[in-house]
Amino acid sequence: MLAKRIIPCLDVDSKGQVVKCINYKDPKTAGDPVELAIYYYKEGADELVFLDIAASIESRELMKDLIKKVAQNIFIPFTVGGGIKTVADMKELLKAGADKVSICTSAVKDPGLIRKGAYKFGSQCIVVSIDVKKNHKKNNWEVYIYGGRKNTGIDAAKFAKKSEKLGAGEILLNSLDRDGTNKGYDLEILKKISNSVGIPVIASSGAGNPEQILEGFTKGCADAALAASIFHYKRYSIREVKKYLRERGVEVRL
């Protein structure tokens, strides 16, 4: 059995600071990205995700210098996303120290970018980040782009399958309904997508305590759990979460 992964997430604003939002709104400063990256690396994080949350909206390049500083101080897999539009953008981030690239808006607008990236760098390098929100009238989850600002009307489960076929190596599933709420992951759509694709799915948005992370694995069938505020504000440490999971039969790297 593959070990389940615990992945802290650094949502970085245009000022280069880590922030935390609720439902993708009202960002509050949570710290310096380099300092937090080092702290999480020493704490035993399995991977680290760095998302430039305003790059797509502001149509600008990612902060390559800041990404390079983070990469130089950690020795675990490092995923970077936000504002990636071309294979050339991917190459620049990999040169800056990223191990994987995460594409969201561009994957929806230009699905061929998934295939091009996978062909150039390998599927293991391409993470498709899907922002979803439930449509209660249709009883399904739809894909949003531009940081949760625009609904595409695309069915999330179908898009996840399409991303896999195009060469994505992982799916990062973000819930607009649960983001920053600490109410737990959206287990229904998490399980649906986890069971419909053959690539790893990372649960994201809503983790508020170790019990909810456990549910992401046991009820949501996720392969990895991403969390932010519970770690940023030191409500729980990564070590505490992993110890809790191990005691309940979940295979994790201690």
Least Cα distance to 143 among 199, 116, 178, 105 occurs for 105
Segment (H or E) for 82: none
Q: Is 110 a catalytic residue?
A: no
Per the residue annotation, which of 52, 89, 131, 223 is the catalytic one? 131
| Pairwise CA distance, residues 42 & 118, whole Å | 31
- From the number of C-beta atoms within 10 Å of its C-beta (0-12, 13-18, 19+), residue 57 rates as middle
Instruction: State the DSSP string of 46-60.
Output: S-EEEEETTHHHHT-
| Pairwise CA distance, residues 236 & 140, whole Å | 33
Task: Provide the β-strand partners of residue 19.
Answer: 29
Q: Is 11 a catalytic residue?
A: yes
Q: Could you list the active site residues? A: 11, 131
